[in-house]
Amino acid sequence: MSKYEAIIGLEIHAEMLTDSKMFSGCRVVDSVEADPNSAVDPLSVGMPGMLPVINRRAVEMAMKVGLALHCDINQFNAFERKNYFYPDLPKGYQITQLENPIATNGQLNIELASGETKRVRVRRAHMEEDTGKLTHVGEGVSLVDYNRAGVPLLEIVSEPD
């Protein structure tokens, strides 16, 4: 018997099904079916001078998920830039809620087959934008599709219950 015990929490990234992207009016398309780079606007690819405007529908959806998970909904929300370099992130940063998530301190109760209820604590749920998609087509060759860049995501983080 090992003296170590695995303790696992989850980070679930859920795409919010809105008509437009998280911080622009650019339409959201099926990133599998649509032609590559057919739903890209200047904000998605980080063109200078473009300012983000939040997607109200995404905020409403995130709040509904937070309420369904019995979370506290924060009255003050803020977004930060998470800076990193990767080819599918043309801006060099991702807009996310690191310090002020929309929802905190929730729980999901799951009824087991035995009739017992298992409680999974939810640490936080925060909004962020998706990145682009890399497709590796050969040795040292990758293609970038920015259709997904800017699509609204809700990241739900559980406690290790």
User: How much is the pLDDT for 1?
Assistant: 64
| pLDDT tens, residue order, the chain (161 aa) | 678 988 899 999 999 999 999 999 999 999 899 999 999 999 988 899 989 999 999 999 999 999 999 999 999 999 999 999 988 998 999 999 989 999 999 999 999 999 999 999 999 999 999 999 999 998 989 999 999 999 999 999 999 98
CA 96/CA 81 separation, integer angstroms? 6
CA angle 67, 101, 104 (to 5 degrees): 45
CA 98/CA 49 separation, integer angstroms? 24
Per the CB < 8 A criterion, the answer to whether 155 and 12 are in contact is yes
